[in-house]
Structure 1
Amino acid sequence: MIEEYFKLTEIGLYCPLYNFYLDPQKPVKNAVISHAHGDHAVGGSENIYCTEATKAVMDLRYKKNAGKNFQIVPYRQSFSIGEANITFYSAGHILGSAQVLIEIEGKRILYTGDFKLEHDPTNEPFEFVKADVLITETTFASSETEHPKAEDEIIKLNRFNNNIIFGAYALGKAQRVTQLINQYCDGLNVLVHYSIAPIHRIYEQFGVSLGKWQMYDRKTMKHSVNSVYIVPPLTFSSYKHSRDVYKVFASGWGNLQEYCDEKLFISDHADWNQILRLIERSEAKEIWTLHGDGNELKKHLSNTHTVKILNE
């Protein structure tokens, strides 16, 4: 039974047989981390297994509290914790994001972390992996959810004739938006918030081409009519009463996009069809759902798969 190998605890998904967690929410002895977003990567663990890009962001954000011993593992290179054989494969979510394949006693258990199948030149492309059991995120696991193409969303900026305050998450989204603007919105000048710039630099250090951008400068913004100032959500909310700029927010979530002149649905998570495609390509017959509502997926697969909702 796969339940012998993993169970969901208040700290995270835990393998009691070999004492390690997948994306623990508190410091632990052994942490296997899929990617560097704060709801998956907590600092302070004793032994951390992750990709090089994930470590770079954790070092930036947590500094000396990032963790004691980092084990940097490239994609497709296996390592062991106890008798568990573990391999990272690209998840396509953000730079350095990894699916985690755990092989225990002949069983292949694949944990997706957050993932997307859509093309995104700011991170490594998703890689399909076969598994016996698939533990998948279900953030947008609704048949009513179909993400539009990111390029079709970003070109909406070309309609504006004034400066733009652009709200985006600092890690992943801001870098993707910067690249998209440079590719599809000729003439727009990209400025970024001081908290976003260090992450842009990490991406560029890993060889990702974001195009032209610069740190925010009040003078540049004041004397320009074609600048896009990319800011994190908290800063974006402080501009809600501004009348001399257009306000744009990019997210897969509609309820995060308040006080906007334009809502861009640019998601870094898989939509319904992408999740179904993943399940088909994985060839897994047992599905565990996590990070979202898995009920519709369970109903949809009731005649073909065994589905367990971990977080219900």
Structure 2
Amino acid sequence: MNILDDFITIASNGIYCKYGDFYLDPQQPVNNAVISHAHADHAVSGNKEVYCTQPTKEFMYLRYHRSAAHAFNIIAYHQPFNIKGVTLTFIPAGHMLGSAMILMEYDGAKYLYTGDYKIQPDATCEPIEWVKADVLITESTFADPGVIHPDAVSEIKKLNDIKSNILLGAYGMGKSQRLIQLINEHAPQKKVLVHHKIMPINQIYERLGFKLGNYQLYGRKLMKEQNGFVYLVPPFTFNSYIKAVGVKRLFASGWNSLQVNQQDTLFISDHVDWNDILSAVEKVSPKQIWTLHGNGKYLKEHFGCNIVVKILN
């Protein structure tokens, strides 16, 4: 087994594996793109060959239409495939529907790229699974001992105490569907209204077998009644409702920069926190940890000489 320090590098177009000549979640169009999930910061349009799960393909096609990719290679979870000598396998990441961690095997070593991943339970996507790897390439957005995400169910239950209609801002893909399901299960007296931009995403979820519960398309007349409505809107629409009256404005996010205060925020994250990353390390048992999308310094301090921690960005 030989761990290659340059197995992946940060190139101008994103995360590059020269041994297989492919990119992981490239930031610009490339010839070979292995895409972990369909959020726009991981899945750009215009790639020549895209390798992804079926839900990721459907979400990309919904957003980009015919420019989504020149060709899609749809890969099921746990189905190994090969790109120029590197064997890859998609493992459920628990981040959103269709999200995958990417296990790469080359020259006897195993490298696990997490993409974005989540350990908290989520009925609207495949639950996270674990595999052993020699190198854990983990996102480290919240790799800070001071960041511990609250329980999503406790957060959603805050809606039960709000008597007025609610304007709830959230990202349309992944987050909104999770919120709809949570509201139906834990605040069932609320009536969910959905912005028209979110409805086609919901339809993909439903068609792929992930039932969200009760919701209906937003209607202006409905929101004029005080009837326990929760109107779920994407961020651009949320900001346009600054003068809305008769509603409680909330935003659901795991990002500190979007938190207003405890009264106006549902802190629901789709990323791992500090304890989750430590759990991932325990499950994967890597010899090395490589960090992306955040600050890996706390992991370097935590593991000391026990595990090599390399900060890639």
Pick the TM interval, shorter chain: over 0.9
2:289 matches 1:287: yes
User: C-alpha displacement at 1:2, in angstroms?
Assistant: 1.7
1:99–1:111 contact (8 Å) kept in structure 2: yes
2:71 alignment partner, one of 69, 72, 82: 69
Where 1:194 maps in the other structure, the secondary structure is coil
The answer to which of 287-296 and 232-241 deviates more is 232-241
Distance 2:240 2:293 in 1: 29
Name whichever of 248-257 and 193-202 sits farther off: 248-257
Which residue pairs with 2:217 in the alignment? 215
Contact preservation (8 Å) 1:178, 1:211: yes
Within 1, Cα distance between the matches of 2:107 and 2:161? 57
Deviation by residue 1:14-62 (Cα, 9 ceiling, x = unmatched): 1112210000001100000000000100111110000000000000000
Shift of 1:261: 4.7
Q: Distance in 2 between matches of 1:197 and 1:224?
A: 23
1:256 matched residue in structure 2: 258
AA in 2 matched with 1:14 = Y
TM-score, normalization by structure 1: 0.97
Alignment TM-score, normalising by the size of structure 2: 0.97
Name the residue aligned to 1:84.
86
Matched position secondary structure for 1:4: coil
2:310 matched to 1:304? no
Percent identity between the two aligned chains? 51
What's the secondary structure of 1:2's corresponding residue?
coil
Q: How far has the Cα of 1:259 moved from its partner?
A: 8.6
Query: 2:155 corresponds to which residue?
Result: 153
Partner residue of 1:135?
Answer: 137
Question: 1:116 is matched with which residue?
Answer: 118
Give the residue type in structure 2 aligned to 1:127. Answer: E
The superposition leaves residues 254-305 of structure 1 with CA deviations (integer Å, 9 ceiling, x where unpaired) of: 3213498521110000010010010111010101000111111111111211
Checking the alignment, whether the CA contact within 8 Å between 1:240 and 1:259 is kept in structure 2 is: no
Structure 2 portions without partners, runs of 5+: none
The answer for the alignment partner of 1:59 in structure 2 is 61
> Matched residues in 2 for 1:244 and 1:200: separation?
27
- What aligned pairs does 1:3-14 form with structure 2 within 5 A after superposition? 3-14=5-16
Q: Which residue of 2 aligns with 1:37?
A: 39
Judged with a 3 Å threshold, the aligned counterparts in structure 2 of structure 1 residues 243 and 217 are, in CA distance, closer, same or farther, namely: closer
RMSD over aligned Cα, in angstroms?
1.2
